[in-house]
Structure 1
Amino acid sequence: MQSLISKLTNTSVIVTGGSRGYGAGIAEAFVKAGARVWITGRDQERLQTTAQNIGAIPFTADVADGYAWDRLMEEVIQHTGRLDVLVNNAGEGVKVCQASDQTDEAIARSLASNLTGAMLGCRRAAAIMQSQRSGLIINIGSACSTHAWPGWSIYSAAKAGLLMFTRCLLTELRPYGVRVTSVLPSWGQTEFTEAVNLPPRDPVILAQCISPSDLGQLIVQTACMPPHLVAEEIKLWPIVQPMIQL
């Protein structure tokens, strides 16, 4: 951890959806590594509590709100003069069911939370990082972007769109020395798993799934890679999860 601290001390980091789950784990890992971290979320009370617990800076915002992104970027640049890392982690299952049972509102919300919000953040971060000629964008996707399961069509489509957007963004920003990475986790020890009624139910198996701290360590290690190297995509599976290729 000491070497990671020396690399990330005083860097500026944004983690969206940072009030809980993977986002909180990622933000805490960056804080422990010496970075100055902003976390975003819609639940102001929960965001404030998490920020206080881990030593981050709270910024209440909906990622689908472009004006909120403008205010966030302005605050970060005002305090640090730069943006070193953006982690687009915010997302939600919204409604997991067959496409025929979806509602127009649920489809729009899923796309806004899981795809559009990250695009809005990337657009602004890309402009800043191009000017700096350095920076790292990490978009947290899902194994759903490359695998098919019944009931997950809308969520999977949004995450698949994020995956392709991230691939294209890397080709655009690479000439400026800016790195862009997709991280695709599967089963996790988060409230998302509970909210969408995902397996596993067995607490012994669940304890072997991806924890917020597991993902946080991976993201920090990715940020500490030599600046002339980029991990295009990282897919993370718990060994206990069946890996069925479809």
Structure 2
Amino acid sequence: MRLKDKTAIVTGAASGFGEGIARKFANEGATVMVVDLNISAAEAIATEIGGHAVMADVSKADQVASMIETAIKTLGHVDILVNNAGITHLPTPLEDVSEDEFDRVFAVNCKSVYLTARDIVPHFKTRGTGAILNIASTAGVSPRPRLNWYNASKGWMITATRAMAVELAPEGIRVNALNPVAGETPLLKSFMGEDTPETRAKFLSTIPLGRFSTPEDLGNAAAFLCSQEASMLTGVCMEVDGGRCI
């Protein structure tokens, strides 16, 4: 029960890594606000883990503000924010990615971190404590070809994490990130372009431990970084990648 009596917002929590994080947090004693565009799936997860559900597009300022306001009112206060919601473009030569795709990737993967910080940091400063966890990617550390602008968005997220950590540390606010390798999530097919045994084998050959990241892997790492056990850790961008970035 490392997160006993804690409250948390997890975005993109109706499936994949976000769902794994939300479930682990609940198992560790936290009350979780499950945020997703798919409200029916979010409500189903929230019901299972004894949490609450909110629908929000984290790239939209008004929806983020409403999400944070609802969380504070519903939960009483917020201890933890996990910026997990993210998207990618299909594997494509960098010059062929459309401007609309580029804008959407950076709005969801990058602008959302700015928007959530703008609305939650004053709350954390008032309380003198708080933890922010950004779900970045090994793509921001060791980029894969043809995922160029997704790679860049995750590199931005890693730098933002470190910049936020340095600025907010004197306020008692910790900011860390996780860098998963491709995982068994709804985005896997988008990363690979196609989901075939041959494509999977090629992907897995780049991961020394020989498997994809799982939602449980991310949940375990997230619970640690957001717990008091990690009270001396800030600005950490931890690979959960089976050795992919070595």
Structure-1-length-normalised TM-score: 0.88
1:53-74: per-residue Cα shift (whole Å, max 9, x none)? 3333110010011111111211
Pick one of 122, 137, 142 that aligns with 2:137.
142
* Secondary structure of the structure 2 residue equivalent to 1:67: helix
Unaligned runs of 5+ in 1: none
Given that 1:187 and 1:238 are in contact with CA atoms closer than 8 Å, whether structure 2 keeps it comes out as: no
- Give yes or no for the alignment of 1:163 onto 2:167: no
- Give the whole-Å Cα distance in 2 for the aligned partners of 1:188 and 1:227: 24
Q: RMSD of aligned C-alpha atoms?
A: 2.1
- Give the whole-Å Cα distance in 2 for the aligned partners of 1:44 and 1:75: 15
- Give the whole-Å Cα distance in 1 for the aligned partners of 2:123 and 2:24: 24
Q: Which residue of structure 1 aligns with residue 216 of structure 2?
A: 213
- Give yes or no for the alignment of 1:182 onto 2:177: yes
* Secondary structure of the structure 2 residue equivalent to 1:156: helix
- Give the whole-Å Cα distance in 2 for the aligned partners of 1:78 and 1:43: 22
Bigger shift: 86-95 or 219-228? Answer: 219-228
- Give the whole-Å Cα distance in 2 for the aligned partners of 1:102 and 1:227: 39
Unaligned runs of 5+ in 2: none
Pick one of 81, 88, 97 that aligns with 2:83.
88
Q: Which residue of structure 1 aligns with residue 97 of structure 2?
A: 102
Bigger shift: 191-200 or 158-167? Answer: 191-200
Given that 2:32 and 2:46 are in contact with CA atoms closer than 8 Å, whether structure 1 keeps it comes out as: no
1:208-245: per-residue Cα shift (whole Å, max 9, x none)? 32110111011111122346411422112125x5x47x
Given that 1:12 and 1:76 are in contact with CA atoms closer than 8 Å, whether structure 2 keeps it comes out as: no
Q: Which residue of structure 2 aligns with residue 236 of structure 1?
A: 240
- Give yes or no for the alignment of 1:41 onto 2:36: yes
- Give the whole-Å Cα distance in 2 for the aligned partners of 1:176 and 1:49: 36
Q: Which residue of structure 2 aligns with residue 8 of structure 1?
A: 3
Q: Give the 5 Å matches for 1:108-127.
A: 108-127=103-122
Given that 1:22 and 1:211 are in contact with CA atoms closer than 8 Å, whether structure 2 keeps it comes out as: yes
The runs of at least 4 consecutive aligned structure 1 residues that moved more than 6 Å come to: none
Q: Which residue of structure 1 aligns with residue 63 of structure 2?
A: 68
